[in-house]
Amino acid sequence: MEELIICPLCGSDACYKTPINEKYYSYFCFGGGHQSNDLMKEGEFKFEEYEETLPELYKDLKKTDEEGRIWYPVAINIPEKGTVFANGTGADNWKWSAIKTRELTEEESEKLANKGVKYKSDVNTMKHFDNNFIEALDYIGFFDKE
């Protein structure tokens, strides 16, 4: 069963610990915007393969907790609301960014009709949030009940 814990990485009180099985857990911290699990430990996980598809910034921003778990920034994409992601040029120059989506116009819908796409990112809505992941999520309506 999922439980809310103090984040072992950043100390936030908004970290969800979710069982993977009887022995291992995954961790998703809303306070710091990072995620990990008990399988992603130094010396026990093939990070080279995992990181092949990650942006360089996400590799630069990975962190290790006291248990040796490696934590990576989260990217959230909710098609009808928007996307939150780490954005920048390196560990010393980045912010959380959020971009809202909008429904496709009739013309766009006709072009993409056979792909099942209903929304697209609206670049005019991009906003940056320093190190406040929760504010970025709130901006796209992540917490809105709908």
How far apart (Å, rounded) are the C-alpha atoms in residues 130 and 93? Answer: 10
Q: Which DSSP letter does residue 75 get?
A: -
pLDDT recorded at residue 7: 97
pLDDT recorded at residue 146: 66
Q: What is the pLDDT of residues 7-51, one digit of tens each?
A: 999 999 999 999 999 999 999 999 999 999 999 998 888 899 999
Number of independent structural domains in the chain: 2
How far apart (Å, rounded) are the C-alpha atoms in residues 55 and 64? Answer: 18
pLDDT band, residue 109 (cuts 50/70/90): confident
Residue 26: both structure tokens together: 């995954």
pLDDT band, residue 114 (cuts 50/70/90): low
Q: Is 120 exposed, middle or buried (0-12, 13-18, 19+ CB in 10 A)?
A: middle
pLDDT band, residue 105 (cuts 50/70/90): confident
- Do residue 68 and residue 81 come from a single domain? no
- Do residue 45 and residue 97 come from a single domain? no
Q: In this structure, is residue 87 part of a structural domain?
A: yes
- Whether residue 143 is predicted with pLDDT greater than 90 in this model: the reply is yes
- Do residue 28 and residue 68 come from a single domain? yes
How far apart (Å, rounded) are the C-alpha atoms in residues 52 and 59? Answer: 10
pLDDT recorded at residue 22: 94
Q: In this structure, is residue 146 part of a structural domain?
A: no
Structural domain for 84, as ranges: 76-139
